[in-house]
């Protein structure tokens, strides 16, 4: 058994095995996570609300036969509703909001035996690829606290990377699981559209862009948690093809040679940092040494058309979120209820007509079909996860005196590879296979065909073995940077 002070560095699978064997009581796991949060959160601000007494009480009665019995986890402060927990979506208007029901994801996570110990920091409505809400303050990257952990699941990624919890909930509408996974040196899988349910309150989000899953340190945890979370719920508008067997078994299956497309240039024509290009090149070499075929192949995307259409959906979503809350709460669309950038994005979104929104959606659907045709002869598309290293805090924040949508446009050049999987509805992961000369994590990204999570998880497991990251740990308190 691992010493108690090392429990936080075990993955969720290993922690649950200790519980099943009776080597560790679930209360010990929860207490260890809460101590770690207490010690590190002043520096990282990854956790914005704690659920200590309730989680400790639940630890005393959890069924130890469940797959993740007693394992402490976090829910993101955006979606993932769970009755009795606070959920602000990073918005000051919702700072005292308490959920009255369980989302399908939260219900399934709890049914797996996981114990929710709190909420992870998220930007307001998840609109930007960093985690710096005015309500809670910025989350910080464990590898360099002057840098962003990414977003919008930045608090989740920072918590997992720093050993607060072995897994944390995330959602992904343009890369929000994969972006922070790359920035923080952890593993993040965005499932296929419809693989995990958004119910009961939602059929889809952003016309199908958003998927829910988790951020983990190990591939096996991501696969096993997908087994627990996957599958449609009554009323869901669509569902991904059913998996034959389990995702966990697929991740451990005997490898077969794959044909992989490789692209290290941005689909939108912007610059790609040399370390990001090096990450995917190194991963490609490792995969070739394992018998896979890697072919240079650029997707035929019209970058300007995609960015324009994606922006229409994103800004319309901001407008809908603000207008809906204003109507429900009887308040104006103004500060101090919403952040200046959110108000600007919502105002811009209000300028689009329903016709323009539908036209943008159709444009992205055409682009998605082009992606599918272009990748028909390949098993997956390999790219860097991001075009830049983890940015300094504040890099995406507008001038408070004159906020514009420039922060959103900067985001496209930061994350040119991740958005493709969202508008195409395809599964994709970020794996932390590379570290820069400065000691910053750099992710490699792989996107597969619809419903091909099993193939992607097997590929990720091979990368995890060939270019291991699990034993890497960020600095501890008392070390410069933290």
In angstroms, what is the C-alpha Rg of the chain? 21
Of all helices (H) and strands (E), which one includes residue 12?
helix 12-21
Beta-carbon contacts of residue 434 (< 8 Å; ≥ 6 apart): 275, 278, 279, 282, 283, 441, 442, 443, 444, 467
The side-by-side arrangement of strands in the sheet containing 380-384 is: 47-50, 115-120, 72-76, 167-172, 211-216, 187-190, 428-435, 441-448, 380-384, 259-262, 293-296
Q: Which of 152, 192, 197, 452 is catalytic?
A: 152
- Report the distance separating Cα 471 and Cα 45, nearest Å: 23
Phi-psi region of 91 (alpha: psi -120 to 50; beta: other; left: phi over 0): beta
Does the annotation mark 122 as catalytic? Answer: no
Per-residue DSSP letters for 416-455?
TTTHHHHHHT--EEEEEEEE-TTS-EEEEEEEE-TT-HHH
Look at residues 135, 114, 145 and name the one whose alpha carbon lies nearest to residue 48.
135
Run of H or E residues at 163? none
Secondary structure of residue 75 in the 3-state scheme: strand
Do residues 264 and 277 lie in contact, with contact meaning Cβ atoms separated by under 8 Å? yes
State how far the alpha carbon of 13 is from the alpha carbons of 20, 137, 162, in Å: 11, 32, 18
Which one is catalytic: 176, 181, 218, 222?
Answer: 176
**Catalytic member of 76, 190, 405, 410:** 76
Cα–Cα nearest to 393, from 120, 128, 130: 130
Question: How many other CB atoms sit within 10 Å of the CB of residue 330?
Answer: 6
d(CA 260, CA 126) in angstroms, rounded, equals 31
Q: What span, in angstroms and rounded, lies between the C-alpha atoms of 382 and 261?
A: 6
* E strand residue ranges, 62-132: 72-76, 115-120
Neighbours of 65 (CB within 10 A): 9
Backbone conformation region of residue 439, classed left if phi is above 0, alpha if psi is from -120 to 50, else beta: left
Which phi and psi angles does 189 have, rounded to 5°? -115, 125
Q: If you ran DSSP here, which 8-state letter would residue 93 be given?
A: G
Cα–Cα distance for residue pair 69/215, rounded to 1 Å: 18
Element (H, E) at 465: helix 453-466
Task: Identify whether the C-beta of residue 445 lies closer than 8 Å to the C-beta of residue 383.
Answer: yes
Annotated catalytic, 222?
no
* Known catalytic residue at 405: no
Q: Which residues are catalytic?
A: 76, 152, 176
């Amino acid at each position: 058994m691992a010493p108690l002070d090392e429990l936080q560095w075990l993955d969720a699978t290993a922690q649950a095995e200790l519980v099943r064997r009776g080597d560790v009581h679930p209360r010990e796991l929860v207490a260890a996570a809460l101590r770690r949060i207490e010690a590190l959160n002043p520096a990282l601000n990854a956790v914005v609300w704690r659920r200590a007494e309730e989680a400790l009480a639940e630890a005393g009665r959890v069924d130890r036969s469940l797959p993740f019995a007693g394992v402490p986890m976090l829910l993101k402060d955006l979606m993932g509703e769970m009755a009795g927990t606070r959920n602000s979506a990073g918005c000051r208007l919702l700072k005292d909001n308490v959920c009255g029901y369980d989302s399908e994801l939260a219900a399934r996570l709890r049914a797996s035996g996981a114990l929710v110990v709190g909420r992870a920091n998220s930007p307001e409505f998840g609109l930007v690829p960093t985690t710096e809400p005015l309500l809670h303050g910025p989350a910080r990257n464990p590898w360099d606290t002057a840098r962003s952990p990414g977003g919008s699941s930045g608090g989740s990624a920072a918590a997992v990377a720093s050993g607060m919890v072995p897994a944390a909930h995330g959602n992904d509408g343009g890369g929000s699981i994969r972006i922070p996974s790359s920035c923080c040196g952890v593993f993040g899988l965005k499932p296929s559209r419809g693989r995990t349910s958004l119910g009961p309150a939602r059929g889809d989000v952003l016309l199908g862009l958003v998927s829910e899953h988790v951020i983990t340190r190990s591939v096996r945890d991501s696969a096993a948690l997908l087994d627990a979370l996957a599958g449609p719920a009554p009323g869901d508008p669509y569902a991904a093809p059913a998996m034959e067997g389990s995702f966990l078994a697929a991740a451990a299956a005997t490898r077969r040679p794959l044909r992989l497309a490789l692209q290290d240039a941005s689909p939108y024509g912007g610059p790609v940092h040399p370390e990001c290009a090096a990450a995917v090149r190194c991963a490609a070499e490792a995969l070739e040494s394992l018998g896979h075929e890697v072919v240079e192949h650029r997707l035929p995307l019209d970058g300007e058309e995609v960015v324009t259409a994606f922006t229409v959906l994103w800004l319309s979503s901001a407008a809908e979120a603000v207008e809906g809350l204003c109507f429900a709460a009887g308040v104006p669309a103004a500060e101090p209820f919403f952040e200046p950038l959110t108000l600007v994005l919502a105002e811009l979104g209000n300028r689009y007509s329903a016709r323009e929104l539908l036209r943008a959606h159709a444009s992205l659907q055409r682009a998605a079909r082009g992606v599918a045709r272009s990748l028909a002869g390949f098993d997956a598309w390999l790219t860097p996860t991001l075009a830049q290293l983890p940015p300094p805090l504040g890099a995406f924040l507008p001038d408070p005196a004159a906020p514009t949508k420039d922060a959103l446009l900067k985001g496209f050049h930061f994350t040119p590879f991740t958005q493709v999987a969202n508008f195409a509805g395809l599964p994709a992961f970020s794996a932390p296979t590379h570290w820069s000369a400065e000691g910053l994590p750099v992710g490699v990204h792989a996107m597969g065909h619809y419903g091909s999570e099993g193939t992607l998880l097997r590929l990720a497991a091979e990368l995890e073995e060939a270019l291991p990251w699990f034993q890497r740990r960020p600095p501890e308190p008392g070390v410069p940077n933290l």
